[in-house]
Structure 1
Amino acid sequence: MTQQHFDPQQMFSMAGKSVLISGAGTLGAATAIGLAKGGARITLADNNPEALQKLADQIISMGGQAAIAPYWPDTEEHAMAMVAKAVESYGELNGMLITNGTNYVADIVDMPVDSWQKVMDANLRGPWLACQAAGRQMIKQGKGGSVVVLSSTRGKLGHPAGYTAYCTSKGAIDSLVKTLGCEWGKHGITINAVGPTVFRSPVSAWMYAEEGPGKVTREGMLSRIPLGRLGEPEDIVGSIYFLLSPASQFCTGQTFYADGGYTAG
């Protein structure tokens, strides 16, 4: 064990690391800023070029480095293009965060098969393709790496209000992370998931409304969260930062719950 393992500044340093963030225009934006502040060189990937440019400008104005990959991992070609942009920009890929996802709420007897498939494509197929592309690059480099996938407490817990697509997809993500943790160990690549409870995002914005169904649903959720509030994007930055940093080099195949204690009860 070298001296750097006893130095917190080295253990949590992201200085010079090339990190690709898929879904950076929405759920990954706060983490992109946090990683950039830690010295990481960021590649922002999403299918919203305007949002990416705005985020890139913000990171650069802070003195950070940011490249743009206007892709969503909806095809193998797009997933590979995201990784290629990171390598083109910084010479290598050291870490990746995958935050892509969506939801469609309906009881199973009412859910159109096409709607179910769209959730599975966004929440599972896309992350799988992104992992495939990143894995190919990291194995080729021969220097290890780290991958974090955004999961959910709904990968562990069911839900009575029409979440058969969402819960199924997130449970599959947790299983994918376990499997790749075993598959990639020999290459020195770690992969973990972060499972938040409800946190502010385009998908959950309705639950933050002051009146209407969101208020009723929110109050029900709050009664089950020991810390007494819903999450904000910044609440998961620390967990993701840790899992991408050298401090977590002996953690792989795990789902870490950043949920205010929701799954503890």
Structure 2
Amino acid sequence: MSEDAVLKNPALLFDIRGKVAIVTGASGAFGALAARILAGAGAKLALVAGNAAALAETAQACKALGGETHCINARPSDEAACEAIVEETVRRFGRVDILVVASGKNEVAKIVDMEPARFLDVMDANVTQSWLMARAAGKRMLEQGEGGKIVLMSSARGLLGHPAGYTAYCASKAAVDGITKALGCEWGPTGITVNAIAPTVFRSPLTAWMFEDTDRAKEVRTGFLARVPKGRLGEPEDLAGPLLFLASKASDFYTGHILYADGGYTAG
């Protein structure tokens, strides 16, 4: 895209119409949101999740926005599964341009109460599966030779600790940050960008109670918001801009970057 074209119409930098995107964890809070954002922007979507019913709901919402979708009822649980997800996407759409890894999990418990197996489950879901999906999609992007966009899901907890039993989650998101930075360096010359979105508390089915008008919710919010310069919790639309930026040509010079969508939480 020429400099003249960009200056005349900067919005072209964010145009992803016709791009093929894989979204894992498409039945979860962030995955379903990411799918709808990309669908509304005109991308073709391979939606991946293990929960078939919830996956179908996400697909229906994307179709209502005009998005062309293909459901893959699977989890990125191992190398073979991740390779199969990419292969099915290519069979359906012919290529892969964007990968959004939104699958993952959390286990909350004080370290002395947490069984090692639970810690390893979180590391596998958040770290190993992110690595495997980036590897599988990245190999295809390298074969295509036209670059690509990989967006991983981090958290403010990749940078900051938490006193309420978050050793597994914090460790896993710090590792996702490490993958993001390392791959940003490794694939920088290829045109493939690798970045991560790191939110703090956002409105979702899992956090809906924090937005309620109850004494417990007010107490938790008050303590949390004391650290948030913007003075509020995150809303789904606060993730739309960062995702579209990282999935589009607008972020071509950004790689290995952790984009904190946190209202300034990590700044102070």
Q: Is the shorter-chain TM-score for this pair beyond 0.5, marking a shared fold?
A: yes
Give yes or no for contact 1:31–1:241 (8 Å, CA) kept in 2: no
Other structure's SS at 2:69 match: strand
Q: How many residues of Structure 1 are paired with residues of Structure 2 in the alignment?
A: 265
CA drift of 1:160 comes to 1.4
- Determine if contact 2:148/2:193 at 8 Å carries over to the other structure: yes
Distance 1:8 1:65 in 2: 25
What are the within-5 Å matches in structure 2 for residues 72-221 of structure 1? 72-211=75-214, 213-221=216-224
Q: Can you give the 5+ residue segments of structure 1 that lack an aligned partner in the other structure?
A: none
Query: What amino acid is aligned across from residue 5 of structure 1 in structure 2?
Result: V
Deviation at 1:214, TM superposition (A): 4.6
Q: Which residue of 2 aligns with 1:23?
A: 25
Is residue 195–residue 257 contact of structure 1 (8 Å, CA) maintained in 2? yes
Q: 1:72 to 1:206 in 2, by over 3 A?
A: farther
Matched, 1:60 2:94: no
The runs of 5 or more residues in structure 2 that have no matched partner are none
Deviation for aligned residue 1:204: 3.5
1:12 is aligned, of 11, 14, 21, to 14
- Residues of 1 paired with 2:213 and 2:75: CA distance? 32
1:253 aligns with 2:256: yes
- Percent identity between the two aligned chains: 47
TM-score with structure 2 setting the length: 0.93
TM-score w.r.t. structure 1 length? 0.94
What are the superposed Cα offsets for residues 57-86 of structure 1, whole Å, 9 maximum, x if unpaired? 222233221111111111111111221222
CA distance in 2, matches of 1:63, 1:101: 27
Checking the alignment, whether the CA contact within 8 Å between 2:107 and 2:122 is kept in structure 1 is yes
Q: Which amino acid aligns with 1:263?
A: T
| 1:148/1:244 contact within 8 Å kept | yes
In structure 1, how many angstroms separate the alpha carbons of the residues matched to 2:116 and 2:206?
A: 20
Greater alpha carbon shift after TM alignment, 189-198 vs 4-13: 4-13
User: Secondary structure at 2:151's aligned position in 1?
Assistant: strand
Q: What is the one-letter code of the residue matched to 2:50?
A: N
Q: Give the C-alpha shift of residue 210 in structure 1.
A: 4.1
- Report if the CA contact (8 A) 1:22-1:98 is conserved: yes
